[in-house]
Amino acid sequence: MAQPVRSPSGRDGRRDREALDDRVGELARAGVAAQIVPWNFPLLMLSWKIAPALACGNTVVLKPAETTPLTALLFADVCRQAEVPPGVVNIVTGDGSTGAYLVRETGIDKVAFTGSTEVGKAIQRELAGRDISLTLELGGKAANIVFDDCALDQAVEGIVNGIYFNQGHVCCAGSRLLVQESIHDQLVRKLKRRMATLRVGDPLDKNTDVGAINSSAQLERISELVQSGVDEGAELYQPPCRLPEKGWWFAPTVFTNVAQSHRIAREEIFGPVLSVLTFRTPDEAVEKANNTMYGLSAGVWTEKGSRILWMADRLRSGVVWGNTFNRFDPSSPFGGYKESGFGREGGRQHDERRPPVQEQAGRESVGNVRKDQRPGGHQRHELYRPRQPADGVVGGQPRGGLSHSHLIGESAPLPQFARTARGLRPFWCSTTATIFLSALVSTVSCASTTL
């Protein structure tokens, strides 16, 4: 038999993995996680939600956006082919009413939502008074702050990437550009020149810079806010470009002479629209950047590292980029302040998602979840396989003949799948789960490019 790999500390690598598994399971295991993801990055958001949940021993019920369900359904089929046990990964499709039903379900232990601030507030109201952990990643109105000592051409590329990437359908898009007054005119000229080179068209064409808008409703929202900017006196610029005749399209747009009272400077547009404001001093830049109900991200462009750190310490944003924008590291947490939500995704901050400590002693059985009293008054929720099939499950399979399909429809009510999930051991409380999920996501990504 092969010898186990030794770790740098001299211990068995297997023991290290077991210790890590125990720590991850103790800190982050919740039970059944209800997850709702938006339409702007459907597969990326799915992987952000599902991978950590499974790796920590949870089971998931995920609802994709009604306009982008295909990647989630394809992922479900990949799970079926990989023989993921039924009830571990469940996909529910539908509109907002389906998501509301999922949040109201009594069999869930955790809710993770990415989407609009309005819906996030509704979810928080619904869960008030219930012993359910909640993570919200909501809207943003990020400030991209450019100082006069920056590398201007590099900053222009970062500005374009920050707002026009993915047609501006990005929660952390740099939709507010704060420019130091002394370089305002020069930067705007460079920015307009760069915008004239952007190509609008087929999103499946690798040469396209700005693709299609997600839906007619979103296009109407963008158009309405852009018109409000014109009506309030801001100066609009759109580069000359031919838009495809079929589909929903909007040309990359920049507004100058914008006041902080304008709607385009206050409300999330979620489209390829940039508002330019000016500042004179770093203190004024901080004041204007923080003058928003959101607090998801920000960017700072300057050659002085000390200034970046000074700004980052004062900006009320969950993420602050220095001389770059929209760069992500899986080991770093992502999340916001204020009406951009709370909780973090990525990094080790999932440790903070542990279930709320309850004031009770001894052991109590709740459905298929056993709660053990932990030293110091803390408790740990552990999932155990039931001795008998859970209610709504026959022979370990959900009623309705869906078995491994992982797809929930009207023929298989959600509570049946939730109870199925609660009755499973944490098969995925292992570091190998992350590798497994990465392979699945890669498979779905390759398959989706051929659709």
Strands of 176-180's sheet in order across: 235-237, 253-256, 273-279, 176-180, 143-146, 297-301, 319-322
Task: Indicate the residue type of 265.
Answer: A
Q: Is 302 helix (H, G, I), strand (E, B) or coil?
A: coil
Residue with tokens 């979810």: 123
Nearest one of 153, 59, 119, 68 to 398, comparing CA atoms: 59
Residue in 56, 171, 172, 429 annotated catalytic: 171
Nearest one of 168, 187, 190 to 177, comparing CA atoms: 187
SS3 content of the chain, % helix, strand, coil (to 5): 40, 20, 45
Q: Which residues of 360-451 form beta strands (DSSP E)?
A: 364-366, 369-373, 379-383, 393-394, 397-398, 407-408
Hey, what are 56's tokens?
């920590």
Hey, what are 267's tokens?
């409300």
Active site residue 382: no
Active site residue 235: no
Hey, what are 214's tokens?
């997600």
59-63 and 253-256 as β-strands: parallel, antiparallel, unpaired? unpaired
Hey, what are 421's tokens?
């999930």
Nearest one of 64, 165, 72 to 441, comparing CA atoms: 72
Q: For the beta carbon of residue 361, count every other beta carbon within 10 angstroms.
A: 8
Helix (H) or strand (E) holding 415: helix 414-422
Nearest one of 451, 394, 392 to 70, comparing CA atoms: 451
Integer angstrom CA distances of residue 216 from 35, 72, 247, 275: 25, 22, 9, 23
Residue in 26, 137, 339, 345 annotated catalytic: 137
Integer angstrom CA distances of residue 311 from 82, 183, 275, 300: 47, 19, 21, 8
Buried b (16+ CB within 10 A) or exposed e, 371-409: beeeeeeebebbbeebeebbebbeebebbbebebbbbbe
Catalytic residues: 137, 171
